[in-house]
């Protein structure tokens, strides 16, 4: 079982936070018309095992057209080679309102920046 004292979490995993935890009381209140402060926001992540905070990683924020947030087969090696973190919201497919999908993408970057050293010049948002 992973604990924060083990250092930065790497590999494939999911993280769930709510707007209150992520943004604080004022931030959660500002977006309460879209998400309740205790709404669960869940992301699928891939952080290369070679992650090193002394070498800030790039970030690929993926906006999936489906419920899944997993990277496509073959992407792991590309992410490893380029020192990139993958993050995608679960349950954020095309059937969700664009505001919800957009905020989940923005919050993905917020979550990553709070937990990993990132290269802000290498943050990308993509989707189908």
Question: Which domain does 25 fall in, by range?
Answer: 4-127
Residues of the chain predicted below pLDDT 70: 1-5, 128
44 by Cβ neighbours in 10 Å (0-12 / 13-18 / 19+) ranks as: buried
Beta bridge partners of 75: none
CATH code of the domain in which 59 resides: 3.40.50.1820
Q: Indicate the pairing of strand 41-47 with strand 11-17.
A: antiparallel
pTM of the model: 0.88
Model pLDDT, residue 128: 67
Q: Indicate the pairing of strand 41-47 with strand 57-63.
A: unpaired
Instruction: Give the number of domains in the chain.
Output: 1
Q: In what order do the strands lie in the sheet with 57-63?
A: 11-17, 41-47, 84-89, 57-63, 118-127
| CA–CA dist 78, 84 (Å, integer) | 8
């Amino acid at each position: 079982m992973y604990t924060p004292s083990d250092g930065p979490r790497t590999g494939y995993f999911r993280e769930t936070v709510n707007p209150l935890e992520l943004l604080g009381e004022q931030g959660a209140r500002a977006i309460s018309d879209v998400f309740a402060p205790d709404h669960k926001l869940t992301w699928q992540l891939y952080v290369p095992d070679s992650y090193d905070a002394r070498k800030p990683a790039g970030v690929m924020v993926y906006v999936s057209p489906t419920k899944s947030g997993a990277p496509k087969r073959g992407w792991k090696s590309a992410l490893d080679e380029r020192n990139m973190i993958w993050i995608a919201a679960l349950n954020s497919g095309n059937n969700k309102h664009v505001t919800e999908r957009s905020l989940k993408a923005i919050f993905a970057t917020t979550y990553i920046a709070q937990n990993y050293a990132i290269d802000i010049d290498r943050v990308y948002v993509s989707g189908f």
